[in-house]
C-alpha cells in the first residue's frame, strides 16, 4: 500500500516536498516499469524459455505456458507500477482455478514466479551494471515489491488449493453414509470408501441417533465398499458395536473381503464380540432371525437372547 | 438424592432422576441389591435416561450392581443410555461387559421377559 500512497504524493504538489525519499523511490520504480514494458517481448520469451528449461508446468503445452506467461508478466508489471495487489490476487486465483485441475503443483507455481523475479533482476543487472550505486537503488525499489508479488501469487495458489480440498471434503461428507431402515426395527448402514477418524466418528453418531429414532433392534453394517482397513478403523468398528449394544441394538457386520479379514487377523483386533456374516444378504437373513421373523418355510423362529 | 425403586410384579424398576454423586450411587446399589432379596424379584430395570454423563465410577458401579444382582438370582437391564453418552463411554473405554442393555423401559421389560422366561 505504501507505494500507492507515494503515487498520490507525486500528484499532490504539497506532499511532494515532504516525501523526498519516497519520491525518489517512485521515480526509480517508474523507470523500472518502463524498462520492463520496453523489453516485454524479450523478457517474456526468456522467462518462458527458463520455465521449459527447468521443466516446470510440464502438464501444460508450450503455447499455453507462453500465453499464461504473457498474462502473468503484464499483471506483474502492473502490480509493480500501481503497488496494488488486488488485480494480481484476482488473477492468481483465476489462474489457480484453471491449472489446479490439471495437476500443477505448488512448487511449480512458486518456481515460475521466482524465475520471473530472477529473469527481471538479471535484466536490471545488465542494464545498470555500469552504475553500481544506481543499480543498488533500483534493486532497493524492486526487491520488496517483487517479493510481495511472489508471496501474493503463492499464497493465492495455496488458498485456492485449500478451498478446492475443503469443497471436495464437504462433498464426500455429504454423500457419506445413509442409515436405512429395511424392516421394522432393522437398519442397514452401507459404508463405501475410505474411513478417516472424522468420518468414523460421524458415522457412529449418525448410527446411534438412527437407532434411537427408529427404535432399531438390529443393525447390519455392510463394509463391502471399504477398500482397506487399519487398526484405527477396526477399533472404531468395535466401539460402534459396543455403543450400539448400550442402546440395546445388536450389530451384524457383513461384507468383509478376504483381504480385510486377513488384515484384521494380522493386526489382532479383538473381534470376538462381533457378529460377522459373509455378505449383505446373509446379514439381513441373520438379522431377521434375530428379530424372530420367519425367514423360510419350515424354519422355527429362534429366541432372541 | 435417593433413587426411587418401584416394585412392578416380579420386577424392580429404578429410575434415576438426576445426576448422582459417588456416595449416592453406592447407596443406590446397596438398596437395590437388598430389595431384590426382600421382594424376591426376578429382574431389575435401571433407567438412566436423564444422565448425560457416565463416568468410570458410575459404569463400574452399574457393572458391579448387575453382577451382585445376578448372584442374588435376578437379571439386570440398563435402559435409556443416550447416544452421546454411549459414544463417549466407548471412546473412554468404559465397558458394560456382561450387563444387559436396552433402548427404553418397554424394551427393558421385553428383555427381562425373555431372560426370565416370564410371559411365555
Q: What is the CATH number of the domain that holds A200?
A: 3.30.750.24
Task: Rounding to the nearest 10 degrees, give the CA dihedral for residues A287, A293, A294, A300.
Answer: 90
Is residue A167 in a domain? Answer: yes
On the 0-12 / 13-18 / 19+ scale of CB atoms within 10 A, A137 is middle
| Same domain, residue pair A161 and A191 | no
Mean pLDDT value across residues A121-138: 87
Q: Which of these, A116, A20, A115, lies nearest to A76 by C-alpha position? A: A116
Higher pLDDT residue, A2 or B11?
A: B11
Q: A3-12, A22-31, A67-76 — which one is most confidently predicted on average? A: A67-76
Q: Do the domain assignments include residue A21?
A: yes
The three-class DSSP label of residue A224 is strand
Residue A225 in domain? yes
- A302, part of any domain: no
Same domain? For A150 and A197 the reply is: no
pLDDT, greater one: A8 or A287:
A287
Grid cell 460402534 is found at A240
Same domain, A143 and A33: yes
**How many Å apart are CA A204 and CA B87, to the nearest integer?**
8
CB B22 within 8 A of CB B39: no
pLDDT value of residue A10: 40
pLDDT of res. B16: 93
Asked if residue A134 and residue A203 are part of one domain, the reply reads no
Query: Between chains, do B102 and A248 touch, taking CB under 8 Å as contact?
Result: yes
Residue showing cell 457412529: A204
β-bridge mates for residue A252, sequence order: A220, A275
The mean-pLDDT minimum among A4-13, B18-27, B46-55 falls in: A4-13
| CB-CB contact of A211 with B103 (8 Å) | yes
Q: How far is A218 from chain B (nearest CA, A)?
A: 12
Selecting from A215, A217, A247 the residue whose C-beta is nearest the C-beta of B86 gives A247
Indicate whether A99 and A135 sit together in one domain.
yes
Same domain, A62 and A205: no
CA distance B79 to chain A (A): 8
How high does pLDDT run on average in chain B? 91
Q: CB-based contact (8 Å) between B99 and chain A?
A: no
Where residue A80 sits, what CATH number does that domain have?
Answer: 1.10.490.70
B interface mutation test: which of A219, A248, A272 has the most B CBs within 10 A?
A: A248
Distance between A247 CA and the closest CA of chain B, angstroms:
5
Please state, in angstroms and rounded to a whole number, the distance separating the CA atoms of residues A224 and A152: 46
CB-based contact (8 Å) between B101 and chain A? yes
Task: Check whether residue A51 and residue A104 sit in a common domain.
Answer: yes
pLDDT in tens, A153-208: 888 888 888 888 888 888 877 666 788 898 889 999 998 887 888 888 888 888 99
Same domain, yes or no, for A68 and A88? yes
Classify the phi-psi angles of A55: left when phi > 0, otherwise alpha if psi is within -120 to 50, otherwise beta.
left
| Average pLDDT estimate for A111-126 | 87
Side-by-side strand order, sheet with A180-183: A180-183, A186-192, A218-225, A250-254, A275-277
A248–B107 CB contact, under 8 Å: yes
Return the CATH architecture of domain B5-112: 2-Layer Sandwich (3.30)
Cell of A282: 446373509
Q: Are residues A261 and A169 in the same domain?
A: no
Q: Is B51 on the interface with A (CB under 8 A)?
A: no
Listing DSSP states for A69-119 in one string gives: HHHHHHHHHHHHHH---HHHHHHHHHHHHHHGGGT--HHHHHHHHHHHHHH
Instruction: Tell me how far apart the alpha carbons of residues A264 and A230 are, in angstroms, rounded to a whole number.
Output: 8
Count of the separate structural domains present in chain A: 2
Q: Which of A113, A98, A106 is nearest to A149 (CA)?
A: A113
Give B34's pLDDT tier (boundaries 50, 70, 90): very high
Q: What is the structure's pLDDT at A302? A: 55
Residues of B in contact with A205 (CB under 8 A): 83-84, 87
* Last residue in a domain, options A173, A188, A217: A173
Each residue's pLDDT tens digit, A93-115: 888 888 888 888 888 888 888 88
What pLDDT is stored for residue B11 in this prediction?
95
pLDDT classification of A222: cutoffs 50, 70, 90 = very high
Contacts of B87 in chain A (CB under 8 A): 204-205, 208, 243
* Burial label, A236 (beta-carbon count in 10 A; 0-12, 13-18, 19+): buried
Q: Is residue A186 located within the same domain as residue A122? A: no
Q: Which of A219, A211, A173, A164 is nearest to A195 (CA)?
A: A173
Predicted ipTM beyond 0.90? no
Reduce the DSSP state of residue B12 to 3 states and report it.
strand
More confident residue, A56 or B34: B34
Please give, rounded to a whole number of angstroms, the shortest distance from the CA of B43 to a CA of chain A.
Answer: 15
From chain A, the residues in CB contact with B81 under 8 A are 246-247
Is the model's pLDDT at A31 over the cut of 50? yes
Look at residue A301 and tell me if it is in a domain: no
Please, are residues A120 and A72 in contact by the beta-carbon 8 Å criterion?
no
- pLDDT of A294 higher than 70: no
Domain assignment present for residue A297? The answer is no
- CA–CA separation, A273 and A283 (whole Å): 16
Are A109 and A81 in a shared domain?
Answer: yes
Give a yes or no: residue A304 inside a domain: no
What is the predicted pLDDT for the residue at A176?
Answer: 65
Question: What's the pLDDT at A14?
Answer: 38
List pLDDT tens digits, range B59-107.
999 999 999 999 888 999 999 999 999 999 988 988 888 899 999 999 9
Instruction: Please list every residue in chain B whose beta carbon sits closer than 8 Å to the beta carbon of residue A244.
Output: 86
The answer to the question of residue A303 being in a domain is no
Looking at the structure, tell me whether residues A11 and A59 fall in a common domain: yes
Last residue of a domain, one of A115, A149, A173: A173
Q: Are B56 and B92 in contact (CB under 8 A)?
A: yes
Q: Which residue range is the domain that position A240 belongs to?
A: 180-290
What is the chain A residue with the closest CA to B97?
A242
Burial class (CB in 10 A: 0-12, 13-18, 19+), A108: buried
Amino acid at each position: 500500500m505504501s507505494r500507492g500512497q507515494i503515487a498520490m504524493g507525486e500528484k499532490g504538489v504539497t506532499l511532494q516536498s515532504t516525501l523526498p525519499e519516497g519520491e525518489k523511490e517512485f521515480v526509480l520504480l517508474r523507470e523500472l516499469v518502463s524498462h520492463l514494458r520496453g523489453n516485454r517481448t524479450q523478457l517474456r520469451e526468456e522467462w518462458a524459455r527458463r520455465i521449459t528449461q527447468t521443466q516446470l508446468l510440464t502438464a501444460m503445452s508450450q503455447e499455453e505456458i507462453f500465453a499464461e506467461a504473457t498474462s502473468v508478466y503484464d499483471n506483474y508489471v502492473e502490480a509493480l507500477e500501481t503497488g496494488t495487489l488486488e488485480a494480481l490476487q484476482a488473477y492468481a486465483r483465476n489462474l489457480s482455478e484453471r491449472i489446479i485441475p490439471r495437476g500443477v503443483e505448488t512448487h511449480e507455481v512458486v518456481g515460475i514466479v521466482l524465475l520471473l523475479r530472477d529473469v527481471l533482476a538479471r535484466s536490471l543487472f545488465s542494464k545498470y551494471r555500469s552504475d553500481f550505486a544506481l543499480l543498488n537503488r533500483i534493486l532497493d525499489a524492486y526487491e520488496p515489491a517483487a517479493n510481495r508479488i511472489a508471496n501474493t501469487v503463492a499464497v493465492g495458489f495455496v488458498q485456492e488449493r485449500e478451498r478446492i480440498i475443503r469443497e471436495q471434503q464437504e462433498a464426500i461428507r455429504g454423500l457419506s453414509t445413509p442409515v436405512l431402515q429395511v424392516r421394522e426395527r432393522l437398519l442397514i448402514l452401507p459404508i463405501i470408501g475410505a474411513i478417516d477418524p472424522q468420518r468414523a466418528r460421524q458415522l457412529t453418531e449418525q448410527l446411534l441417533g438412527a437407532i434411537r429414532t427408529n427404535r432399531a433392534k438390529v443393525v447390519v453394517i455392510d463394509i463391502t465398499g471399504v477398500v482397506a482397513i487399519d487398526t484405527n478403523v477396526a477399533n472404531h468398528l468395535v466401539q460402534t458395536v459396543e455403543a450400539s449394544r448400550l442402546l440395546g441394538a445388536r450389530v451384524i457386520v457383513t461384507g468383509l473381503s478376504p483381504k480385510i479379514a486377513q488384515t484384521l487377523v494380522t493386526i489382532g483386533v479383538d473381534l470376538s464380540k462381533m457378529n460377522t456374516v459373509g455378505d449383505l444378504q446373509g446379514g439381513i437373513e441373520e438379522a431377521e432371525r434375530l428379530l424372530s421373523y420367519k425367514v423360510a418355510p419350515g424354519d422355527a423362529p429362534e429366541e432372541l437372547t | 438424592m435417593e433413587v426411587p425403586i418401584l416394585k412392578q410384579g416380579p420386577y424392580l424398576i429404578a429410575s434415576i432422576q438426576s445426576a448422582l454423586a459417588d456416595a449416592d450411587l453406592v447407596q443406590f446399589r446397596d438398596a437395590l441389591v437388598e430389595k431384590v432379596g426382600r421382594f424376591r424379584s426376578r429382574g431389575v430395570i435401571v433407567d438412566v435416561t436423564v444422565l448425560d454423563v457416565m463416568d468410570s465410577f458410575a459404569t463400574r458401579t452399574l457393572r458391579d450392581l448387575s453382577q451382585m444382582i445376578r448372584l442374588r438370582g435376578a437379571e439386570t437391564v440398563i435402559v435409556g443410555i443416550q447416544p452421546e453418552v454411549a459414544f463417549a463411554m466407548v471412546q473412554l473405554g468404559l465397558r458394560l461387559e456382561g450387563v444387559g442393555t436396552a433402548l427404553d423401559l418397554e424394551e427393558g421389560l421385553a428383555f427381562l421377559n425373555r431372560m426370565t422366561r416370564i410371559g411365555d
